[in-house]
Amino acid sequence: ELAAAGLAPRIDFQDHWVNAGYASPDDFLARFPSKRRNALRRERRAPAEQGITIRTVRGDELARDPEGWAKACFALHRRTTDKMVWGMRWVNQRFYEAAIRGLPDAVEVVEGRREGRMIGMAFNLASAERLYGRYWGCSEEHPFLHFNVALYHSIDECIRRGTKVFEGGAGGEHKVARGFEPAETWSAHAFLDPRLDRSVREYVAHELRERRLAVQQWREEHPRLGG
């Protein structure tokens, strides 16, 4: 409809985890070759060996202290983005608090604690069928902490709760090696300056062909993981 209205469609892709009716995390891991499966299990064991506990906080627990959770999430998010040359704080502490207060049935915080301190978090949003991973942050560096807080724990929760899709957010080739699959995402664009509009249309038309080819090639190269 947007294209018919005169906008130029653009395709991109993110990596999404799709629940194929897994009965347990072991059922999910069984899809991988033995060597890769053993590597993933080692990564998943790391938090317990490091004295880190991970859990998902939802609903009433967040609602009892939205300001406190917002402060903790933003502090970890800020520490992580500030260490990156390209890091940008797209949201502030007020955003976290407004989301926790205003979306009590949707917001989920995955927390990682060590010696009682919250050292890592993933800020997610959930619908009845999908989990949306949005922001991540940590105050300590531990091997595989990011994978466990931002990916593995939520994959296991999706299996436990019957969630169909986990959209882990943009970027990250590391997701593919951990069971995520390329999924098309769409947007549509138009610019008032006809010169710019013409250039953008030419570019997205070329990009559209290249992106579709890339996804097709990936699925041919990964028939077991790509479905």
- Contact yes or no for 146/136 (Cβ under 8 A): yes
Mean pLDDT by 10 residues, the chain (227 residues): 92 90 97 95 97 97 97 95 74 95 96 97 96 94 96 98 92 83 88 93 88 78 54
What is the widest separation between alpha-carbon atoms in the chain? 59
Q: How far lies 52's CA from each of 5, 41, 47, 150, in Å?
A: 52, 16, 5, 14
pLDDT of residue 208: 83
pLDDT of residue 24: 97
3-state secondary structure 193-219: CHHHHHHHHHHHHHHHHHHHHHHHHHH
Does an H or E element contain 38, and which? helix 34-49
pLDDT of residue 226: 40
3-state secondary structure of 1: coil
Residues 6+ apart with CB under 8 A from 225: 31, 32, 176, 179, 181
Does an H or E element contain 56, and which? strand 52-58
Report the alpha-carbon distance of residue 156 to residue 162 in Å, rounded.
10
Report the alpha-carbon distance of residue 66 to residue 42 in Å, rounded.
35
pLDDT of residue 197: 93
pLDDT of residue 227: 39
Q: How far lies 64's CA from each of 55, 59, 68, 117, in Å?
A: 17, 9, 9, 19
pLDDT of residue 174: 82
pLDDT of residue 213: 84
